Amino acid sequence: MIVFLVLVGLVFGAALILLLLSPGTPRPVVDAGGARVPGSISERAYVDINGWREGMIVRSRDPRNPVLLYLHGGIPDYFLDRTFPTRLDDLFTVVWWEQRGSGMSYRPDLPSETLTVEQQVADTLEVTNYLRKRFSQDKIFLMGHSGGTFIGIQAAARAPQLYRAWIGVAQMANQLESEKLAWRYMREQYAAQGDEAMVRRLDAARVTDEGTPAAYLALRDEGMHRLGVGTMRNMRSVVSGVFVASWLSPEYTVSEKLNLWRAKAKAGVSFAWQSMTTTDLAKTVPALEIPVYFFHGRHDLTCAYDVAKSYFEKLEAPTKGFYTFEQSAHSPVFEEPERSLKILKEDVLAGKTELADE
């Protein structure tokens, strides 16, 4: 009986702590002294997008600043901005949109078969038009990260008149080639370390021209993070670095945090993984009519650096810039925010016409 009461007490205590950590209140935009910036925006919003209620977090130091629509990858990653502040809202009115079937936009009754690339592109364009109208801007900036780049670059190609520039952070290009590179790298590294167990797991989950087997996808995150080629160079565990961090964010409610991971489990690695691993964007999107900027971590194997660089070299655009982040893996905007802001301010916002990797 005593043991039972102790367990009940522990469960109750943990639930209470989780509730206290989950008010669902966005933090304000503050100045150097910690005071709220007058006229700034920090809000959670829900908007009807093509018949589906979708959530977003909007942050801006000055609503007159250019709008930047951010497209997340496999899961919404705004919660990382608390520990790894990007300060994007210093320059932009940033909209962290949580796409159909993800995070704030998740409902269990959404049929997974509706999570198509075509639907996500259509939603992106609809959100874009909502923001153009709300903030009275003819064109906005579009930034994608990881899986978000797969959707975003296709939206930019379809409706270039809506955008000032495309910014691909960890740009997808030919994801199957990327996964084959990642598999080979992990096997070489774990073999060199003498980790026979991981080598056996990888040998049983070889990535081939036929695709990415389920056994590979089950060990992919663990394998990459342990080698520092996953989410961040210095993040060696996806559990502590991403999963736990999401539950500690005070800007989401408990149910929203639960939905973040329910959506991830339902969708798998991403909402359109099959499409992503059978598409070569060099063929699907060989050119853009707007300026293009790729931000890529040197150590990224989630979306392999060499594959992205090859795509960039083929991609035709009026202005192109490829930026290598030497200290980053998959998330340079979070890992090297100062350099990101410098490029955004001096090159992207300035609209430079001759760009080279620094």
Do 214 and 231 have their domain in common? yes
Count of domains in the chain?
2
Indicate if 214 and 285 belong to the same structural domain: no
- Nearest CA to 339 out of 323, 322, 355 is that of 323
**Tokens 């990858």 belong to residue:** 73
Is 278 within the bounds of a domain? yes
List the domain range (segments joined by +) for residue 231.
176-251
- State residue 352's pLDDT score: 78
Cβ pair 329, 233 in contact under 8 A = yes
For the record, the structure tokens of 309 come out as 């660089």
Distance between CA atoms of residues 27 and 78, nearest Å: 12
Supply the DSSP symbol for 350: T
Q: HEC states along 134-161?
A: HCCCCCEEEEEECHHHHHHHHHHHHCHH
| pLDDT under 70: residue ranges of the chain | 1-24, 267-271, 353-358
Task: For residue 29, give the DSSP letter.
Answer: P
Amino acid, res. 210? E
Q: Looking at the domain assignment, is residue 14 inside a domain?
A: no
Residue 344 counted as domain residue: yes
- CATH code for the domain of 164: 3.40.50.1820
Question: Which pLDDT value is given to residue 354?
Answer: 52
- Cα 104 to Cα 130, 134, 183, 261, 283: the distances in Å are 18, 20, 33, 11, 33
| 166 and 282 inside one domain | yes
Q: Which residues neighbour 289 within 8 Å (Cβ) at sequence distance 6 or greater?
A: 157, 160, 317, 318
Question: Is 34 part of any domain?
Answer: no
